Amino acid sequence: MTTVTLIPGDGIGPEVSGATRQVVDALDAGIEWEVHDAGILAIEDHGEPLPAHVLESIRTNRVALKGPVTTPVGTGFRSINVALRQELDLYASIRPCKLFPGVPSRFEEIDIVVVRENTEDLYEGIEFEHDSKEAEKLRGYLKYMRNYPLAADTGISLKPISVTATKAIVEFAFQYAKRNRRRKVTLGHKANIMKFSDGLWLRTAETVEDDYRDVGFEAMQIDEMAMWLVWHPQDLDVVVLPNLYGDIISDLCAGLIGGLGVAPGMNLGREYAVFEPTHGSAPDIAGKGLANPIAMILSAGLMLRHLGRPAEADRLEKAVGKVLADGKLRPADLRPSGDPATTTQVAEAICTAL
Ligand code: ATP
């Protein structure tokens, strides 16, 4: 038996987590769950959104499956997802975007893996409000140091990019490509504009590339990448991006494969791994039985692969593929021609197809 920490989450979280648990249990893959709440539900019971025992559970089990968790406003927490990434050093976010036959999409044969740096860039939250004393000081310092003429009402967000974090994520992308027999790694950047952040990202990646000559490599400006992704998305394979571009491009790629309801994800570090769907808690459809559980079910498939259960992961993905290709049962977000299938109906159909 392998114990996995399960955080069902809130909003549609409990519905999609329940469905996922049903499918994984039906696989008989030797997984047992240690269930913990985070976010609003944890505040109700434990007075804080990310209690120490939740982190302890993940540190002990090393693997967690997580539903979407809304960050409660006014708790001093920027985001539970960001806190988890920082506490567990989950430096790589991976979003495999594969289009299953039968899913309505404008595109065909999409199979792109987005690898996103998860720890720095504009997400580090180093910000100065336009009317703060600190911003005024910083503007003064920049004027004195480099004669940068910032207007007196300018707010400032910093974009730190380090050699160390760049090396780690680019190496990760190459190793992922090798392990999964992918064709090439494409690195997105805007080095011509941001020479000391994106420029450093690009130059560092080029030094890493030398060690992986058996995997193809290309660097592409992020705006050009956006164009290719909607023009010839089949030309892209593994894409590696700094944090903010990664956030945007992974949602774009989710759009290529049928939307958030079918887009799985994982956050990996050197020691721990957290598997979770790309989507958030979708409060607009919570509790209505309308949520598509497939993104979270596919995330559990990625988890099974990570845990060394490739046969079970294959069975899960094939069963999802069967249900989607069959097209008789479609959840609301996949634009069914008849009545939408409920979360439970989708889970049951997948269990039957296993
Ligand atoms: P966050 O800021 O946490 O990402 P959000 O509300 O901006 O949250 P999501 O919750 O990811 O974004 O979802 C945006 C919309 O997409 C939802 O309001 C919902 O209509 C739809 N959606 C997201 N996930 C699903 C799902 N699993 N099944 C069906 N529809 C979904």
Q: What is the mean pLDDT of residues 80-89?
A: 90
Ligand 1 mean position, distance from CA 317 (Å): 22
Q: For ligand 1, say whether the CB of 260 is within 6 Å of any of its atoms.
A: yes
Residues 244-272, mean pLDDT to the nearest whole number: 96
Cα distance between residue 157 and residue 243, in whole Å: 14
Within 10 angstroms of residue 211's Cβ, the number of other Cβ atoms is: 11
Quick check: is 37 catalytic? no
Task: Return the pLDDT at 92.
Answer: 98
Residue 185 Cβ contacting ligand 1 at under 6 Å:
no
Report how far residue 219's alpha carbon sits from residue 235's, in angstroms, rounded to the nearest whole number: 13
* CA dihedral of residues 188, 193, 199, 205 (deg, nearest 10): 10
Residue 75's pLDDT band, with cuts at 50, 70 and 90, is: low
Percentage of the residues of the chain whose pLDDT score is greater than 90: 88
Q: Does the global pTM surpass 0.85?
A: yes
* β-strands 2-7, 63-66 pairing: parallel
Active site residue 91: no
Which residue, by CA, sits nearest to atom 22 of ligand 1? 282
Give the chain's mean pLDDT. Answer: 95
Let me know how many helices (H) and strands (E) the chain has, helices first: 12, 12
pLDDT band (50, 70, 90) for residue 81: confident
Rounded to the nearest whole angstrom, what is the distance from the C-alpha of residue 24 to the centroid of ligand 1?
A: 23
Which atom of ligand 1 lies closest to the CA of 332?
29
Q: Provide the residue count of the chain.
A: 354
The pLDDT value recorded for residue 125 is 83
Is the pLDDT at 212 greater than 90? The verdict is: yes
pLDDT confidence of 338, banded at 50, 70, 90?
confident
pLDDT at position 313 over 70: yes
Span of 44-53, 138-147, 278-287 with lowest mean pLDDT:
44-53
Listed in sequence order, the DSSP H helices in 30-110 are 40-46, 52-61, 80-87
Residue 77: band (very low, low, confident or very high) from pLDDT cuts 50, 70, 90: low
Reply yes or no on whether 247 is catalytic.
Answer: yes
Q: What is the pLDDT at residue 79?
A: 80
Closest CA to 278 of 95, 150, 82: 95
Residues 6+ apart with CB under 8 A from 141: none
pLDDT of residue 195: 97
276 lines ligand 1 (CB under 6 A): no
pLDDT of 124 > 90? The answer is: no
Residue of 28, 210, 223, 284 marked active site: 223
- Calculate mean pLDDT across residues 29-45: 93
pLDDT exceeds cutoff 90 at 136: yes
Q: Per-residue pLDDT for 334 more than 90?
A: yes
Ligand 1 contact via 343 beta carbon (within 6 Å): no
Residue 2: helix, strand or coil by DSSP? Answer: strand
CA pair distance 94, 275, nearest whole angstrom: 10
Structure confidence at residue 337 (pLDDT): 81
The finding on whether 294 has its CB within 6 A of some atom of ligand 1 is no
Give the lowest-confidence range in 26-30, 35-39, 76-80, 146-150: 76-80
pLDDT at 165: 97
Which ligand 1 atom is at minimum distance from the Cα of 279?
11
